[in-house]
Amino acid sequence: MRIWLSTAMLLLFTFLLVPGAGAATDSATCFGCHGSMEGDVKVEQEKYSKSVHGSFDCVTCHMAPKGDQHQGLGGAAPDKSVKELAASLAHKSTKDPIAQSACITCHPDLYEAYKKSVHGQNVITKKSTDGPVCTNCHGSPHYIQARPSAESKVHLFNVVESCGKCHEEKHMSEKYGFSPLVMERYLESFHGRKLKLGHAGAPSCASCHGSHDIKSAKDPSSPVGNLENKKKTCSECHSGATEKFVAAITHKPLHPIAHWSEIGLILLTVGTFIFIIIHVLLDIYADIRDRLFRKGGNH
Amino acid sequence: MDKNIPQEIERFDLSVRIQHIIMFTTFLLLSFTGWGLKYAYVQPSSAWITIWGGAKVAGIIHRVAGIIMLMDFVYHQFYLLNLARKKDLRLTIVPMPKDVIDAFHNFMYFFGFRKERPYFGKFNYMQKFDYWAVYWGMFIIGSSGLFLAFPVTASMLFPAFTTQWIWDILFIMHSDEALLAIVFILIFHFYNEHLRSEVFPMNWMWLTGKMTIEQLKHHHPAEYDYLYGKDKKK
């Protein structure tokens, strides 16, 4: 009797949880497994539900999940643009290129800008594995926060770190010819320091270089790609920026004159420290000596 | 004791005392706010800057304090000119060859080769060092600070060939020499005017402006002799 009852319940749940092919699968079904799995396939349901896309069903993006275990699960058939993008991202996005490409369904304008950017060109046209797709900058697609949120990977205070993931890599700077010290020189600049301290007016990488439509700084159409654009970009904060002014920021290594001036000033500073410390110590020594051995000597 | 010799003499008049108060108040404000930016990547810099009202407010405090300090410095030059006009200006703070000899004698005394401190004048070489360090700071840190505060204007003053390195140099000048100034004050000035056993916890002259005649005789014998003459000494 009990066995019959259990079997009947199991069958009932099986039919409830696995709807027939063609019908959209709801997130609860997915979280039944993926909420408690380990590793890459785990998705934290609570964190997901608080993300900007938290109200979506999983199959909104994972339209056609692979593998036998997903048989009968899925959403609407991907449209032409998603399929095309998925094909061109397949070398970069090995897990689920369809899901990676699904962003363009709702964000076609950003995709258009990205496609023309130096990043998009590299990934889509040149089929390189270097260069970011959406999730490389925005973080895990399951936990994306809106940019004003401090948790967003592209928030003003976090975006520098996101860019740094590739741009402080030596092999990247060698391959693509940007300054190997670009991150270091930015971080030690007034801009970088102010941003670190939470100055909302301080510029991040994206403030000057752009984001989805980013161009190589060597590309004349970049906001920092030629003199006129540089003047315009700098003027957004420093009104009246001139040709001489915009030359200030290059992210290049220190010029030899600056380098040797720095060493000169450090020597001067250290030399003065040594002199005053010795002077003070000797003064203390003479003071103690006189008090102990020379009554009324110095005092 | 001779009737003509007073119990104490005024070393710093009221104007100088006020100049000093403005100087150290702005110095502390500049140090506190600037330190957070210099060591932005050393925790707890962000928390420290929050105490000063956040990066934006701290930046405003820094700029305002810097301009007040520069004005204090400029005022001091007019104060000196006014003393000169009144024929009241003695060049007692100007470094002289005797200061090198005094320093040498002082080290001899430290090492026990001389029984007495050197025959110091109104200001000894350490005090002169302290005084002229402010001039160094004003020219190096003050000028670079002004250029960095008004970069667009400053960029027009610099010739084109300097643009590749001038900003880095200005930044290093401002930041490194500020560290030098802070450490100099913390070690040299604080030891001489606060921690030294005979003045601890502080040399009250910054408020009273006065020094007893015994102290003058002991620490600045040349000045005592200048004022009251060797024959009046006993």
Tell me the C-alpha distance between A170 and A177, whole Å. 10
Alpha helix stretches (DSSP H) within B52-204: 54-85, 97-110, 125-137, 143-149, 151-157, 166-184, 190
Tell me the C-alpha distance between A151 and A138, whole Å. 10
User: Cβ contact (<8 Å) for A258 and B169?
Assistant: yes
The pLDDT, as a whole number, for residue A9 is 63
Q: How many inter-chain contacts (A to B, CB under 8 Å) are there? A: 129
Number of structural domains in chain A: 3
Tell me the C-alpha distance between B137 and A220, whole Å. 43
Q: Are residues A150 and A90 in the same domain?
A: no
Domain assignment present for residue A30? The answer is yes
Tell me the C-alpha distance between A184 and A191, whole Å. 12
Domain assignment present for residue A262? The answer is yes
Is a pLDDT exceeding 50 seen at residue A22?
no
The pLDDT, as a whole number, for residue A299 is 45
The pLDDT, as a whole number, for residue A14 is 56
Say which of B55, B126, B165 has its CB closest to residue A255.
B165
Domain assignment present for residue A10? The answer is no
DSSP of A90-126, one letter per residue? TTT--S-HHHHHTHHHH-HHHHHHHHHSHHHIIIIIS
pLDDT (tens digit per residue) in A213-264: 999 999 999 999 999 999 999 999 999 999 999 988 889 999 999 999 999 9
User: Cβ contact (<8 Å) for A262 and B176?
Assistant: yes
B49 contact residues in A (CB cutoff 8 A): 197-198
Q: Are residues A38 and A125 in the same domain?
A: yes
Give which of B38, B49, B109, B110 to mutate to test A binding, by max A Cβ within 10 Å.
B110
Q: Are residues A91 and A199 in the same domain?
A: no
Domain assignment present for residue A230? The answer is yes
Helices B97-110/A256-293 angle, 10° precision: 50
Which of A143, A175, A203 corresponds to the end of one domain?
A: A143
List, in sequence order, every residue forming a beta bridge with B8; answer none if it has no partner.
B212
Q: Are residues A79 and A186 in the same domain?
A: no
Tell me the C-alpha distance between B24 and B37, whole Å. 20
- For residue A143, the distance in angstroms to the closest alpha carbon of chain B comes to 27
A204 contact residues in B (CB cutoff 8 A): none
Cα–Cα distances (Å) from A263 to A270, A298, B164, B173, in that order, read: 10, 41, 17, 11
Q: Are residues A51 and A121 in the same domain?
A: yes
Lowest-pLDDT range of A24-33, B108-117, B196-205: A24-33
Q: Which of B79, B91, B77 is nearest to B122 (CA)?
A: B91
AA identity, residue B169 = I
| Region at A75 (left for phi over 0; alpha for psi -120 to 50; beta for the rest) | beta
Is a pLDDT exceeding 80 seen at residue B30?
yes
Tell me the C-alpha distance between A128 and A122, whole Å. 6
Alpha helix stretches (DSSP H) within chain A: 2-17, 27-34, 45-50, 80-89, 97-101, 103-106, 108-116, 118-120, 134-138, 159-167, 170-176, 182-188, 190-196, 205-209, 227-235, 243-246, 256-293
Structural tokens at position A128: 């390189």
Tell me the C-alpha distance between A155 and A149, whole Å. 7
Domain extent at residue A206:
145-253
Confidence of residue B230 (pLDDT cuts 50, 70, 90): low
Domain assignment present for residue A214? The answer is yes
Q: Are residues A168 and A181 in the same domain?
A: yes
The pLDDT, as a whole number, for residue A201 is 93
